[in-house]
Chains A and B, each alone.
Chain A
Amino acid sequence: MTTTLTKSGPTPTKAARTKVLQRQGAAVALVLMVAVSWLVFPRFGSLDNLRDLALQGSFLAIIAIGMTFVIITGGIDLSVGSLYALGGVLAAWGSQYGFLAALALPLVVCGLIGLVNGLLIAKTNMAPFIVTLASLLFARGLLLAITDEGANTYKIDGDSAFVELGRGTVAGFGYPIFVAAVLAVLGGMVLNRTNFGQNVFATGGAEQSAVLLGVPVAKTKVLVYTMSGTLAGLAGALTAAYLQSGVTVIGVGLELDAIAVVVIGGTLLTGGMGTILGTVIGVGLIKVIQNVINQIGTLDSNYQSVVSGVFLLVVVVLQRILRR
């Protein structure tokens, strides 16, 4: 470590400590938050509350996993909030044709929209921000078109197997939690152990060098946006199964939540660096904060967004300072 050579530089132990904080800052914060909440709010640690917390977090986590891949390639996907809502409506509509239709329809349609995002971004050199902004509008339009301008909310038969997917539990923990957990593990393995994962990092790290080195940059981009769209559709489908209906008004601004948790988890918006574990911890942090604010009860629910905003700020400022 070169810092030991300079007189004024920090001592090795301090440097090491900084490094741990930098890498695991979000994890440390999460552990602290959970510990304090547990002590201060008796209801926080109850099994019911923890189950609820995990379930609420699982939908966001599924979307954020896709977003992590996109952001590591140096891109951004603003369409996930709309695709989440669209996925739910498609699942509810498809449920009248059975389990498979209810699950496949949102995955295929949202995946296709993600594919178009990826193709436009990879092949035409248009900015991801603007392409996915357009598909945010497009997916909302499509959702309105199939719900009679939002007037029609499709219900899912409470006895169907599809509802079980959203409401079923193992030891009280809902199925979506396990889906999110499996996807997180899979995502982490794909990112760190496969060629595709290496290509994702290479694309975001230095795109031009990656192209020169023969990394299939275009193909990688198409794949990550397709993945992000599909996962948003899946999260929507699971939510619909849980709510037993395709709610048309959900998901507005959800893309920003997803971006926020990815950033809190230490993934750089400039691309080339990031982890799935960090993203999962980011989801945990945001959900614990929201949960605690609800526990306080006397606090206006408007404070929730104020605290979330301040928290996001503190995390990114700290990350920035520690990186110096």
Chain B
Amino acid sequence: MTLTASRTAARTRWLQDNGVYVAVAALLLFNALFTANFLTVGNFTTQLVQAAPVLIVALGMALVIGTEGVDLSVGAVMALAAAIIPLYLGAGPFMAITMALVVGALAGVFNGFLVAKVGIQPIVATLALLVGGRGLALVIADGQLVQLHDPAFLALGTDDVLGVPISVLIAGLLALVIAGVTNRTTFGRQLVAIGGNRKAATLAGLPVNRVLVGVYAICGVLAAIAGVLATSRLSASDPADMGLLMELSAITAVVVGGTPLTGGKVRVLGTVFGVILMQLVRATLIKHNLPDSIAQMIQAAIIVAAVYVARERR
């Protein structure tokens, strides 16, 4: 290989790995220069608050995608969490949130069981819960939107610590935890190994089924947390709209962040930046008064471009 060729290859490699960070930096620079009132604390807070639920869901999705799976049910799980909250809010916010998270975990274990033990493909296994889960949430809530008044529960969506909104704080903490789990624990190594080559992982004696169920359970709990936070911010339980199309936003952020759909690799920081990138793109388009139609088409182009750059070459 000639020197220039290897240099080009190295440059492509670098762009593949760091494209999402470059894109975020470029977009920040663009907005700093051309968008009025962009560099304000208020604006950054708004952007982060809007991105927090997507990030929490995307973290779980990144783990699932790392195992060469996908979880289409996350939006439905958010709706289930939203439907559960008003049922138990009478017993205090702690009880309500616990029950919502338990339901999220159960949904995840159910998905994981179907994928690991029954051997159904992740798309179909989680599609069943996507279709049925939101219906179930609507049945639980009797199809109604319920206004919530518990001050302690609503504080979750309105209060902040030292200027950082609670939901953003939780999202940040969860990102750190998931990064730690992925990079520093046996569980993290096992899930990447399973995503890389499930047969080899099985033959090597890894507890494949247990890890898969665990990964889907984590994804379910994270989706439920996102549902709780979004419900609190909305100050209403709205199972009809809660988390609608969230699965697509989360998958997009994960893939744009450089985690391949083929599994075997999880990029937590990339996922965080993938979420930030998609949020910034939307904010930029809105702030420059582009209509929804153009905004959607540009988002589509960005997804294709990001995945094109990051794709694995044959």
Contacts and interface: CB of A to CB of B under 8 A. Distances in A.
Nearest to B122: A269
A133 B292 contact: no
* Interface-centre pick from A137, A303, A312 (highest chain B CB count, 10 A): A137
Given A144-B293, A144-B296, A306-B136, A125 B120 contact: no
B258 to A, nearest CB: 13
A149 B292 contact: yes
A305 B134 contact: yes
Contact of B127 (A130, A133, A256, A303): A256
B135 A302 contact: yes
B125 interface: yes
B156 interface: no
Interface in B121-145: 121, 123-125, 127-136, 138-139, 142-143
Given A134-B303, A135-B300, A317-B120, A141 B136 contact: no
Nearest to B295: A141
Interface majority SS on B: helix, strand, loop or mixed?
Answer: helix
B5 to A, nearest CB: 20
Contacts of B12: none
A41 interface: no
A106 B112 CA distance: 41
Interface majority SS on A: helix, strand, loop or mixed?
Answer: helix
A318 to B, nearest CB: 10
B129 A317 contact: no
Contacts of A316: 120, 124-125, 128
Interface string B294-313: 11110111011001100111
* Interface-centre pick from B255, B295, B304 (highest chain A CB count, 10 A): B304
A305 B131 contact: yes
A267 to B, nearest CB: 11
Given A125-B313, A260-B127, A317-B118, A306 B304 contact: no
Given A303-B139, A317-B120, A320-B118, A141 B297 contact: yes
Contacts of A260: 127, 131
Count class of interface residues, chain B: 35 or more
A270 B121 contact: yes
A311 B250 CA distance: 27
Nearest to B129: A309
Interface residues of A, number: 45
Contacts of A269: 121, 123-124
Contact of B135 (A76, A144, A303): A303
Interface string B192-212: 000000000000000000000
B262 interface: yes
B300 A138 contact: yes
Interface string A249-269: 000000010011001000001
B148 interface: no
Contact of B131 (A120, A130, A308): A308
A145 interface: yes
A100 interface: no
Given A126-B304, A133-B303, A304 B135 contact: yes
Contacts of B132: 305-310, 312-313
Contacts of A302: 135, 138-139, 143
Contacts of B261: 127, 129-130
A256 B124 contact: no
Interface of A: 76, 120, 124-127, 129-131, 133-138, 140-145, 149-150, 256, 259-260, 263, 269-270, 300, 302-310, 312-313, 316-317, 320-321
Given A130-B252, A303-B139, 4 more contacts: A131-B304, A141-B296, A263-B124, A320-B120
Interchain residue pairs A-B with the least CB separation, the first 7: A309-B132, A305-B135, A141-B296, A144-B293, A141-B297, A145-B293, A138-B300
28 contacts: A125-B314, A126-B311, A127-B255, A127-B262, A136-B300, A137-B303, A141-B293, A141-B294, A141-B299, A142-B297, A143-B293, A256-B72, A259-B123, A259-B124, A269-B123, A269-B124, A300-B139, A300-B142, A304-B135, A305-B134, A308-B131, A309-B135, A310-B128, A316-B125, A316-B128, A317-B118, A320-B118, A321-B118
